[in-house]
Structure 1
Amino acid sequence: MKRWSTTRAEEKAISVTSKVVVSLVKTIKDPSYAAVYADNCFTSIGLAKCLRSEYGCRYVGTARENRVGQPPIKSVKEMRKKTTQRGTLGYVSSDGILVARWRENRIITILSTDVGVEPMGTVERYDRAQKEKVPIP
């Protein structure tokens, strides 16, 4: 059985789960026309950089807090506090990579080289205190 190996420098710096995504991107005929969407098991800053620089591929994924470094936005711990309202959004963009953190029922962190935060809208969510649906930014 032949083992999968990487040759590019950025590919060597990424995690094993991220290498799975890279191996799948290698099967795409022209990755520069593709966008990859993944969950937090695969997402990391290293993967987003690797796909963008080595393959020209765009990437969007939910992310775990420990895989996005320490961007200058509210931490998950701070956003869990009751003083942080539902619908609070914090984001930062650097080197073409966006990290956004949003408080809904849970804290959601998204990493993207494909999309931004605009346009913003509202969603209807049920509020237990008011016992009705309320708009959340």
Structure 2
Amino acid sequence: MVKYRGQTSPIRQYIKEKPHPWGFKVCGRSGDTSILYDFHVYQGGNGKRSELGQGADVVLNLTSTLEQNKGYKNYADILFTSVPLLIKLSEKGMFYTGLLRNNRLSGARLLDEKALKKIGRGKIDHQIKTTHNIAMVKWYDNRAVTLLSSNVSVEPVAEANRWNKAKKHRSFQCQYQQL
């Protein structure tokens, strides 16, 4: 979100959860060196509903200039991630990893946040769709976080350090594996 408080722009957006709620929505594609290669400024809807959704359309638009079947790895936040998007990118020979909203689980049965909290910090539940080589992982830290990826999975186990009032620092298991 690019901060803008003026009244005259027809593409100005309001998103209440952002640090600067008024402004322009800009999405970009950069490399591992943080150089911006492509960007998209949201200019309002065109009245047509996409089968994949607006967030997926932005990702597909930004990756359309990349060569297919080169194994590009894409990372995005919770706004863009969905199972149909991963399937579409897999067909193009690209990988994707991103956080997933609970209402986009596509029928996957993962433990809910209450069950994970009861078991304790560091608990992981996962499901893998072998037909499309997609892993869905829910990890409980302070709250449950769901990750969807065609690039990484749940094995082997690594350690993540977190703050604990009683013990100051404590290590928890964090699982990942290259698919």
Give the TM-score range, shorter chain.
0.7 to 0.9
Which one has a larger percent strand, Structure 1 or Structure 2?
2
Larger radius of gyration: 2
TM-score in terms of structure 1 length: 0.81
Distance verdict in 2 for CA 1:30–1:44, change over 3 Å: same
String of CA shifts for 1:76-117, please: whole Å, max 9, x gaps.
Answer: 3433x4x23000000110121100000012211000011111
Q: Gaps spanning 5+ residues in structure 1: where? A: 5-11
State the superposition RMSD in angstroms: 1.9
Counterpart residue identity of residue 40, structure 1 = I
Residue 91 of structure 1 aligns to a residue in which SS? strand
Residue 46 (1) aligns with residue 84 (2): yes
Q: Which has the higher contact order (CA 8 A, sep 6+)?
A: 1
Q: How does 1:1-137 map to 2 (within 5 A)?
A: 12-30=50-68, 32-53=70-91, 55-79=92-116, 81=117, 83-94=118-129, 95=131, 96-128=133-165, 130-137=166-173
* CA distance in 2: counterparts of 1:63 and 1:88, whole angstroms: 17
What fraction of aligned residue pairs are identical, expressed as a percent? 28
Q: Gaps spanning 5+ residues in structure 2: where? A: 1-44, 174-179
String of CA shifts for 1:26-79, please: whole Å, max 9, x gaps.
Answer: 1113453201101100000010011112x1111110111111223122023433
